[in-house]
Structure 1
Amino acid sequence: MADLPETWCVPVVRADFRDDDVWRQIKDDIVSPTEEGFVAGVEFVEDRALAGLSGTAIAAGYPRAYPHQYRHPVLFVVDAVTVSLSERPLLVVNLNEGYETGPFRALPRQVQAIENNLSIANMDFHEFARSAGPDGVFRGF
């Protein structure tokens, strides 16, 4: 597996390279402030080493080692599923050591809430994961 990008902000990793327009739209949705004025503290990373891997393989490739090995408690991934579905749900990977909650998906406009709350430890990963719909996608509270 590729190394987690060394970023100051939470990484949003591009792992599917089929559609540059979709990538730009997802980035625009993530960097746009919410209605409440919140912005996501993210950094966009293109990682061709992840191209073609399933979401499960990508998530399994990053051990849960925050805060000892990683700077961030979460990783967002734009993979083949993200690109193929109309809502563009990103894979949200848990990096917290000791937390067994697996990945879920979230709409691009929810990245702000997830990143903001996890980065300041206002909420835990499992709170977002269990609030995902029956299809495994978090659309907000």
Structure 2
Amino acid sequence: MTELPGTLSVPVVRADFTDDVVWDLVRQWIVEPTEDGFLADVDFVEDRSLSGLDEATIVAGYRPSYPDEYRHPVLFVIDAVAVATPEHPVLVISLDARYDGHPFRALPQQVQAIQNNLSLGNMDYSDFATSVDDDGVFRDF
């Protein structure tokens, strides 16, 4: 498993390289400002070493080490499920060692809210993880 990417902002890791159009679309949704003008503070990482890995393998490869050893509380992954599913829900992985949270999925248009609120400490990972719909996707509160 590869090491976490050293990024200044929260990483959005590309783990599926089967569809460049979807990758570009998801990136566009993530960088668009919200209705309130908030932007996602993210860095996009194209990491071919993750290509083809399933969710369990990706999650297992990134152990929680924030805030002591890693600067970001969360990692976003554009994997095969995100590419193949019509709403393109990204995988959200908590890296906060203080929270034993399970990964969930979120619409790309919600990355701004998740990243902003977690990075500023306004909300906890569990606020989002427990607000997913029945299919495990966070769409909004």
RMSD: 0.6
Partner of 1:114: 114
Partner of 1:128: 128
Provide the aligned length of Structure 1 versus Structure 2.
141
The 2-side partners of 1:24 and 1:130 are apart by 29
Partner of 1:12: 12
The 1-side partners of 2:49 and 2:98 are apart by 27
The 2-side partners of 1:70 and 1:128 are apart by 21
- Measured against aligned partners, the alpha-carbon deviations of 1:1-39 in whole angstroms (never above 9, x if no partner) come to 111110010000000000001000000000000111010
The 2-side partners of 1:79 and 1:43 are apart by 16
State the shift of 1:103 in Å.
Answer: 0.3
Gaps of 5+ in 1: none
State the shift of 1:86 in Å.
Answer: 0.4
The 2-side partners of 1:26 and 1:121 are apart by 25
- Measured against aligned partners, the alpha-carbon deviations of 1:91-128 in whole angstroms (never above 9, x if no partner) come to 00000012111100000000000000000010000110
The 2-side partners of 1:35 and 1:93 are apart by 25
Identity between Structure 1 and Structure 2 (%): 60
Partner of 2:23: 23
Partner of 1:48: 48
Partner of 1:101: 101
Q: Residue 91 of structure 2: SS of its match in structure 1?
A: strand
Partner of 2:59: 59
Which of structure 1's runs of 4+ aligned residues deviate more than 2 A? none
Q: Residue 109 of structure 2: SS of its match in structure 1?
A: helix
Gaps of 5+ in 2: none
Partner of 1:80: 80
With normalisation by structure 2, the TM-score equals 0.99
Partner of 1:37: 37
The 2-side partners of 1:29 and 1:11 are apart by 15
> Aligned partner of 2:127: which letter?
E
Partner of 2:92: 92
